[in-house]
Structure 1
């Protein structure tokens, strides 16, 4: 499915290339807004960290949404898992679903990990992907079984801790980012950031260990070309 570049650049005095580059830096690397500001300053671009924060909040999810629409249809096996994350000093839960290739399909930040939260996550997942898997794989949390029986009883449910490594491994980049950010300030902010982060960061992380150097460079060139197309950095006029 084609995805047009964002049409909301109007009124921004910086070129699209600078906006998209700052959003890329923040979501791709373990950088703070001030560190992105410093990197841009080294390139001769004067932009404040607060402006970069607003760009990431405004465009991050839009870019991630565009990238997701360009990916292949998810496979028939989905892996679900939940981990706690620190928000404003308290513990909340991050629910995440990945397909057999480790691609993040959806996530949800909630205060609990009970049946109600699992049901809400299942319904949100189906609404977003508009498809139903053949198999779902979870750990032994009982909330999954209870929600599965009510929401998607026709789907095979495999409950085994050792089968869910793909979902568990997908939490690692989030853990690194959480430590760098020293936690999140609110559930809404965590949901918005992680929705953008999980769409942008993996796009620039191909399986390098399976590629030759030439193949890796070619893959990254395609990643950047798609990024420019999604963000409108190519052929998008800048505001004065």
Structure 2
């Protein structure tokens, strides 16, 4: 019988400390040096560079497990896009959240046309098992044009809101952590 090695095999620190550090980094708005200090207060001496390597190695796996364990997505989707700068060039960060505020999916694209909206719809549909009952978007014309070409979304109610009315607050509020991180990093460098 083949025994599978632990994911943490060969690491100096126990799995509980590694997972705690990675969870803190991705869950809260903490920097690597902040986590280094928090662990030091608990008697664990580890460098911030080690925490960065842990986040690179284990972060995607943790995110996948959390996404699989979370509750079923709601049937109302709020979709919105926001401009971010990447190496000085403008990009659009498309985001979908459900009525509970849980993020369904994000996609970084260069364009804001029908093809980009269709690509985003297909990606969100692939990530979620069920199609929504209602979609809430701003008045961008790309959304209804792309929705008309996707058969799963043919009978879905589409609600348009004015951006100034802030009725689409679920999607608007989900941009806040991205904006905060963008300010901290003085612009993004990598997608």
Shared fold per TM-score greater than 0.5: yes
| Distance 1:44-1:88 versus aligned 2 partners, 3 A rule | farther
Cα drift, residue 88 of structure 1: 2.1
> For 2:55, what is the secondary structure of its paired residue?
helix
Q: Is the aligned partner of 1:157 residue 2:161?
A: no
Distance 1:36 1:19 in 2: 11
| Distance 1:38-1:88 versus aligned 2 partners, 3 A rule | farther
> For 1:105, what is the secondary structure of its paired residue?
strand
Corresponding residue pairs, total = 181
Cα drift, residue 123 of structure 1: 0.8
Q: Is the 8 A contact 1:92 1:112 kept in 2?
A: yes
CA RMSD across the alignment: 1.8
- Residue number in structure 2 paired with 1:173: 177
Greater shift in the superposed pair: 136-145 or 56-65: 56-65
Give TM-score scaled by structure 2 length: 0.85
Give TM-score scaled by structure 1 length: 0.69
Question: RCO greater where, 1 or 2, for CA within 8 Å and sep 6 or more?
Answer: 1
Cα drift, residue 25 of structure 1: 2.2
Deviation sequence 1:41-66 (CA, Å, 0-9, x none): 34332322222112112222221222
> For 2:69, what is the secondary structure of its paired residue?
coil
Q: Is the 8 A contact 1:32 1:181 kept in 2?
A: no
> For 1:66, what is the secondary structure of its paired residue?
helix
- Residue number in structure 2 paired with 1:66: 65
> For 2:84, what is the secondary structure of its paired residue?
strand
Cα drift, residue 181 of structure 1: 2.6
> Structure 1: which 5+ runs fail to align?
1-6, 188-240
Quick check: which one's helix share is greater? 1
> Structure 2: which 5+ runs fail to align?
1-5
Greater shift in the superposed pair: 55-64 or 130-139: 55-64
Cα drift, residue 113 of structure 1: 2.0
The structure that has the greater radius of gyration is 2
Runs of 4+ that moved beyond 6 A: none
Distance 1:154 1:113 in 2: 24
Q: Is the 8 A contact 1:98 1:167 kept in 2?
A: yes
